[in-house]
Amino acid sequence: MPDDFERGKELQAAGNLDEAVVAYRQAIEVDPTSFRAWNNLGTTFEELHDFDQAVECYQQALEINPTQSIVHYNLAHALHRMGRVPEAFGQYVMAVDLNPQSFAAQFNLGLLLYDRMEWTGAEAAFRRTLEIAPDEGRVHQCLGDLLFDRRRMDEALPFYERAMELDPTNPEYAFNTGKCLRPLGELDQARRMFERSLELNPNSQIAREHLLDVLLRQGRDQEATEVCEQHLKKSPGDAVILHRLAAITGVNAPIRASDEYVQNTFDAFAGNFDATLSELQYQAPQHLATLAGKCLPTASRQFDILDAGCGTGLCGVLFRPYAIRLVGLDLSGEMLRLAKERDIYDDLIQLELTSYMQNRHSAYDLIIASDTLNYFGSLSEVFRAAATALRADGRLIFTLEHKGGDTRDWSLQAHGRYCHSESYLHKSLGDSGFLVEASSIQILRLEASQPVWGWVVAARRPESLAILPRLQ
């Protein structure tokens, strides 16, 4: 008959965790100095998501034998999951010092440093991990991600390709290889990788979106249309693809993007949002901040500010110094989750922009909208709502994409965003009671290595504003 420790291991392996706890405790009663029993009791508590007790067990094991790398690693792992990152870092380092060949300790140390944006240390940890396990695809993938995020595309690509070689059935590996090939200008190869990713995971919205973007960049509009139509045969109500199809063909273009389209698109995009915008040299938030510096008093935390379509908080960071209260509004729950991590907002709200502003009479001194109104064709209702939400002498500062030579009031472009003419923009602002204080055309970002031009506008709500009827 096995002793209590061995019985605990068998029960833990079988998933009988509560019984395993009892067996390990009995083993400890027999031998309180068994660091193995304390360690395994800790791993069992961790599987039960009782991290506090897990940490206590690991600490007890280390008091008995402080030279065990695996226990330092387990303690680091539990602390990491609890969000106690500085303590976890110290324990990972200790585990690596005691056993430099520990794959798990080296790899998780790299992940922790990556999350803390300590790029040099994370890269070194991942490279050491590959020396230990050169055929681990996930490590190649993580090192590729780090190099990609640092815009070292040429260096990232071999790691993505190696991960794909090691696991050719992994849709994420195929997608990330395509993601890296695209900014390198290898559009045919990128297209094949996105197609492969979709073969492996037909439900991947982000892979389908990237495939459409590459096809459009190559002028293969008919193939992009066919990708949409094939998907809609299986999922006829897919708001994202219905919007993209309308944008590509120009047929049945809506006057604004649907809530479902915006929410689903940005939920899927959230994880890569900041890295992608960095790759595209996104400048819209900086343009808004520069314009605010000209129109507003010196930043002194005096305004109630609404960050409309706040995303991950790229604008909020720049406008926090102006705000006594900063509210972030977005339809995407995933974007709001990432915005919360920045710890700059007083409140984060998941609602549609127009209806929210219509019901916040004179609530704000300033509304900022960085690339948010690009998802509206008709601007009348959203401008009127903004006028309602602003106090007297309040300001709306925003960006909109501009397409030179297009005389239509607004048009839905193949990429899914709207462009507006200057005359329509100014008329819509005037009809909504705004006075335009400043307006210029600036480069908002790059797309397909070409500049995307857009309006950067500051409009003021005068002290006397006639009550405007709501549009039907």
Residue 465 pLDDT > 60: no
Residue 450, pLDDT > 90, answer: no
CATH code at position 401:
3.40.50.150
Q: Is a pLDDT exceeding 70 seen at residue 270?
A: yes
CA 283 – CA 416 distance, rounded (Å): 20
Position 127 in a domain: no
Segment 199-204 mean pLDDT = 95
pLDDT digits (tens, 9 = 90+) for 245-254: 999 999 989 9
Work out the pLDDT band at 1, boundaries 50, 70, 90.
very low
Residue 315 lies in a domain: yes
Sequence length of the chain is: 472
Instruction: Name the one residue in this structure whose structure tokens are 């996105």.
Output: 194
Q: Which two tokens stand for residue 330?
A: 């977005």
Q: Which residues contact 149 (CB under 8 A, 6 or more apart)?
A: 275, 278
- How many distinct structural domains can be found in the chain? 1
Any idea which residue has 């000209």 for tokens? Answer: 294
Look at residue 86 in the predicted model and tell me its pLDDT. Answer: 95
Residue 294 lies in a domain: yes
Least confident of 117-131, 370-384, 405-419, 427-441: 405-419
Task: Please report whether residue 56 resides in a domain.
Answer: no
CA angle in degrees (0–180, nearest 5) for 332-338-339: 85
**Above 50 in pLDDT, residue 464?**
yes
Q: Please indicate, yes or no, if residue 373 is contained in any of the structural domains.
A: yes
**Cα–Cα distance measured from residue 26 to residue 144, given in angstroms and rounded to the nearest whole number:** 47
- In the DSSP assignment, the letter for residue 416 is S
Stretch 139-150: mean pLDDT: 95
For residue 463, give the H/E element and its range: none
Give the predicted TM-score (pTM) of the model: 0.80
Domain assignment present for residue 206? The answer is: no
- What is the H or E stretch that residue 307 is in? strand 303-308
Mean pLDDT of 322-333: 97
DSSP state of 256: B
Assess whether pLDDT exceeds 60 at residue 198. yes
Q: Which domain holds residue 396?
A: 276-460
Q: Chain-wide mean pLDDT for the chain?
A: 93
Determine the Cα–Cα distance for residues 399 and 457; give it in Å rounded to an integer.
6
Residue 232 placed within a domain: no
Is the CB of residue 37 less than 8 Å from the CB of residue 49? no
- Give a yes or no: residue 43 inside a domain: no
> In whole angstroms, what separates CA 354 from the centre of its chain?
24
Give CA–CA dist 241/197, Å, rounded: 17
* Buried/exposed code over 271-302 (b: 16+ C-beta within 10 A; e: otherwise): ebbbebbebbebbbbebbbebbeeebeebeee
d(CA 35, CA 106): 23
Give residue-wise pLDDT tens across range 397-434: 999 998 777 788 999 999 899 999 999 999 999 999 99
